[in-house]
Amino acid sequence: GDRGIYNFAAGPATLPLSVLQRAQAELVDYRGSGMSIMEMSHRGKEFDAAIKKAEADLRALFAVPDTHAVLFLQGGATTQFAAVPLNLCAGPSDPADFVISGSWSDKAFKEAKKYSAASVAWSGKDGKYTALPPFDAIKQNPEARFLHICSNETIHGVEYKDYPEPRNKSGILVADMSSNFCSKPVDVSRFGVIYAGAQKNVGPSGVTIAIVRKDLIGNAQPITPVMLDFKTHADNASLYNTPPCFAIYICGLVFEDLLAQGGLAEVEKKNAHKAGILYDTIDASSGYYICPVEKSVRSLMNVPFTLAKGPDFEKQFIAEAAKEGMVQLKGHRSVGGVRASIYNAMPLAGVEKLVAFMKDFQARNP
Ligand code: PMP
């Protein structure tokens, strides 16, 4: 918005200007307390109210049922790669199924192998992670403790539009929702565990949110570090030790803003419109811009594309876009190309400016 640039970073990512301004106004003297919220006891009344409101607003956004606990954790989504098998599997020989749809689900799988007998139920690697499986092609082990998916692959731009049914004995589906959390409604009751690092859609890095079915809490493997045991945090309302107070406070402001926008269904409409004009521009470029992802699973959050003219032109594209105030468009170092991350907080005007630039760049460099 009004900061002179549009930030297309994949995470940490752009936050709503109104949220930043509100945090700025409250930074030095939080609501008349004479202190910043980052200087206060996490057990004091101000922070207690802030974390309770953040949880209540998040519950309202997703209509989280009473069957599920909301946890504010640390260590990033990466820590949940270990916490999930430690909490859900009895030991390293207990099976778990993973759909590998990109770099992030692959990392989750590799970490889970240390604490479970994790196996690959489907992999998109041979197709360069440009597709998702038809759900009946996922080879599920009926003995698996859970089926793990990554709902949106941040690097490859592959997003589930619906979710597979877990066909394992416990019926547990687990999702890493780091990069599309709060971008659309989700039926939480279908999931055993949802986890997400905050730093894409909902706040600063440092807090990781987990929504966990309560009956799955309390069975962690004996070797589980106290900080990775869901029970530790569920029993202590996410205040077992000092939480990332400031990050949780900002998430709370973002949740309030999402509710004020009309909730996640409204937010999804905006996201679909933004992504739509960007994909339409790519597809109408006569092959000048190429998005390799299968149309039915293209991400509304992360839009990777290449230029048919090659890496030198991609470099020029990224540099010229930056000069015009559109920054952080470089693709992930592992795949190259261009990536526009257009999370909730990216204004429509930012995407409109990007597509205008794309058309102009093409016209100038045929
Ligand atoms: N999963 C996904 C889908 C991600 O995008 C990321 C971060 N880019 C991670 C996991 C890792 O998250 P963190 O950096 O919070 O550990």
**What local confidence, expressed as pLDDT, does residue 169 receive?**
86
pLDDT given for residue 152 in this prediction: 98
Residues identified as active-site: 104, 176, 200
Q: How remote is the CA of residue 140 from the centroid of ligand 1, in Å?
A: 25
- Closest Cα to atom 15 of ligand 1: 76
Q: Which residues of 336-352 are buried (b: 16+ CB within 10 A; e: fewer)?
A: ebbbbbbbbbbbeebbe
- Any residues with Cβ below 6 Å from ligand 1, and which? 11, 76-78, 104, 150, 154, 176, 178-179, 197
Mean pLDDT of the 300-310 span: 98
- Taking the centre of ligand 1 as the mean of its atom positions, its distance from the CA of residue 103, in whole angstroms, is 10
Nearest protein Cα to ligand 1, atom 3: 178
Q: How many CB atoms lie within 10 A of CB 113?
A: 15
Q: Are residues 351 and 300 in the same domain?
A: yes
Q: Do 244 and 298 fall into the same domain?
A: no
The boundaries of the domain holding residue 302 are 6-18+262-364
Q: What is the pLDDT of residue 3?
A: 87
SS3 80: helix
Query: Which ranges of 167-290 does DSSP label H, i.e. alpha helix?
Result: 230-235, 245-260, 264-283
> By the 8 A CB rule, do 304 and 157 touch?
yes
pLDDT of 2 over the 80 cut: no
196 CA to centre of ligand 1 in angstroms: 8
CB–CB of 306/337 below 8 Å?
A: yes
* Pocket residue to mutate for ligand 1, from 149, 154, 156, 181, most atoms within 8 A of Cβ: 154
Q: For the chain, what percent of residues have pLDDT higher than 90? A: 98
How many whole angstroms separate alpha carbon 312 and alpha carbon 109?
Answer: 35
Taking the alpha carbons of 326, 330, 331, 337 in that order, is the dihedral positive or negative? positive
pLDDT at 273: 98
How many domains are there within the chain?
2
Q: 23 in a domain, yes or no?
A: no
Tell me: the pLDDT tens digits for 182-198? 999 999 999 999 999 99
What would the two tokens of residue 225 be?
């570090």
Mutating to test ligand 1, I would choose from 179, 182, 208, 299 the residue with most ligand atoms within 8 A of its C-beta, which is 179
Minimum-distance ligand 1 atom for the alpha carbon of 153 = 3
Q: Is residue 1 part of a domain?
A: no
Q: CA 204 to CA 185: how far, in whole Å?
A: 21
Whether the predicted interface score ipTM is above 0.85: yes
Render pLDDT for 226-283 as a digit per residue (tens, 0 to 9): 999 999 999 999 999 999 999 999 999 999 999 999 999 999 999 999 999 999 999 9
208 and 350 share one domain: no
Query: What integer best gives the mean pLDDT of the chain?
Result: 97
CA angle 19, 16, 331 (to 5 degrees): 140
Kindly state the helix (H) or strand (E) to which residue 147 belongs, with its residue range. strand 147-150
CATH number of the domain encompassing residue 245: 3.40.640.10
Atom of ligand 1 nearest to the CA of 81: 10
Considering the domain architecture, whether residues 90 and 78 belong to the same structural domain is answered as: yes
Domain assignment present for residue 25? The answer is: no
The C-alpha atoms of residue 38 and residue 47 are separated, in whole angstroms, by 9
DSSP 12: S
pLDDT over 70 for what percent of the chain? Answer: 100
Strand 117-123 versus strand 6-7 pairing type: unpaired
The values of phi and psi at residue 340, to 5°, are -105, 110
The rounded distance, in Å, linking the Cα atoms of 224 and 246 is 27
* Ordered strands of the 338-341 beta sheet: 289-290, 302-307, 338-341
- How many whole angstroms from 104 Cα to the centroid of ligand 1? 7
Q: For residue 206, which amino acid is it?
A: G
Nearest CA to ligand 1 atom 9: 77
CB-based contact 11:341 (threshold 8 Å): yes
38 in the same domain as 12: no
For the chain, the residue count is 366
Question: Do 93 and 103 fall within a single domain?
Answer: yes
Centroid of ligand 1 to alpha carbon of 148 (angstroms): 15
The CATH number assigned to the domain holding 288 equals: 3.90.1150.10
Rounded to 5 degrees, what angle do the CA atoms 114, 149, 171 make?
A: 90
Indicate whether 147 and 293 sit together in one domain: no
List, for residues 143-160, the tens digit of each pLDDT value.
Answer: 999 999 999 999 999 999
Residue 342 has pLDDT above 80, yes or no: yes
Report which protein residue has its CA nearest ligand 1's atom 5: 154
Q: Which atom of ligand 1 is nearest to the CA of 197?
A: 15
Same domain (yes/no): 61, 160: yes
Can you tell me whether residue 289 is helix, strand or coil? Answer: strand
- Going from the Cα of 10 to the center of ligand 1, the distance in angstroms, rounded, reads 10
Flag whether pLDDT at 1 surpasses 70.
no
d(CA 124, CA 216): 29
Q: At what angle do helices 245-260 and 45-62 cross, to 10 degrees?
A: 40
Domain end residue (candidates: 260, 284, 308): 260
- Report H helices in 115-202: none
* Mean pLDDT of the 121-141 span: 97
The residue to mutate among 106, 158, 178, 193, having the most atoms of ligand 1 within 8 angstroms of its beta carbon, is 178
Pairing of strands 193-197, 173-176: parallel
Task: Write the pLDDT tens digit of every residue in 57-92.
Answer: 999 999 999 999 999 999 999 999 999 999 999 999
Dihedral sign (CA 271, 277, 283, 285): negative
Pair 47, 137 in one domain: yes
